[in-house]
Amino acid sequence: MPTPASRLHALVTGASRGIGRAIAQQLAARGCRVAVHFQKNRAAGETTLRQLSGTDHALFAADLARAGDVSRLWGEVTAAFGRVDIVVNNAAIYDEHPPLKTSYDEWQDAWQRTIAANLFGPANLCHLAANAMASSAGPLDAAHGRGRIVNISSRGAFRGEPNAPAYGASKAGLNSLSQSLARVLGPQGVYLFCLAPGWVETDMSAEHLGGPRAAEILGQHPLGRVATADEIAHATVFCALDAPASMTGCIIDVNGASYLRT
């Protein structure tokens, strides 16, 4: 993929708000053409699209928990853009389902929805992207490879999520998926990176950060604050555009030292 960043094409899932919007904005600011994915909130997706610098960006809708939607999304993006050089799997859901406070039916529903959205969806998109990137024509670019996939995981994959165990399990699975694919795809010049944020200041977390748990959450953070969406986006864009190939397979903690693993 011997092209400068100004001509790279990126697909960002869950880009209608929060971390995904910040990632799309920063990729566009670096000159990338961005495919903005949303699931239901078209108005929010259109807001993201208007905020992107540069031209020729586009908006795409899909429910990534549905395998058919993932395939359709990939087909639509590649038809519109010609190719995709960067995929950022950011879209995810978080539903609380404390093991001792949910019925068996509620438990089943939470696991099925969470794994479908947070693991099966990214896995299916990784499969489509990896096969397209690995088979792309042209010489292998030593710096950037033939394509890059950045998966947004969570510190919950390591510390556990007592009130949302399916979320923690889905993110642990995403970490393993990323590392497995890194080993398979490295020889083809397709590089995998994984980011594991902790709490991030977004509209989705506002209820928790402004609620009765606020002091407890902030107490976990030596910085005295949680991460911003722009900080997560900065790390993501580094992986998508600047990280050396030797970092493929890495899992990067971006949690302000709120959880340290060995």
Which residue numbers are catalytic?
167
Q: List Cβ neighbours of 187 (8 Å cut-off, separation of 6 or more).
A: none
Query: Residue 3: which region, alpha, beta or left (left: phi > 0; alpha: psi -120 to 50)?
Result: beta
Which of 93, 90, 73 has the alpha carbon at shortest distance from 23?
90
Contact of 12 with 20, CB cutoff 8 Å: yes
Alpha-carbon span 162 to 98, nearest angstrom: 7
Structure tokens at 177: 């998926």
Distance CA 118, CA 72 (A): 18
**Which among 113, 182, 186, 180 has a CA at the least distance from the CA of 145?**
186
C-beta neighbour count of 45 within 10 angstroms: 24
Measure the CA–CA gap between 25 and 19, rounded to whole angstroms.
10
Residue 67, token pair as written in the block? 């395998």
94-118 burial string, b = 16+ CB within 10 Å, else e? beebeeeeeeeeebeebbeebbbbb
CB 42 within 8 A of CB 61: yes
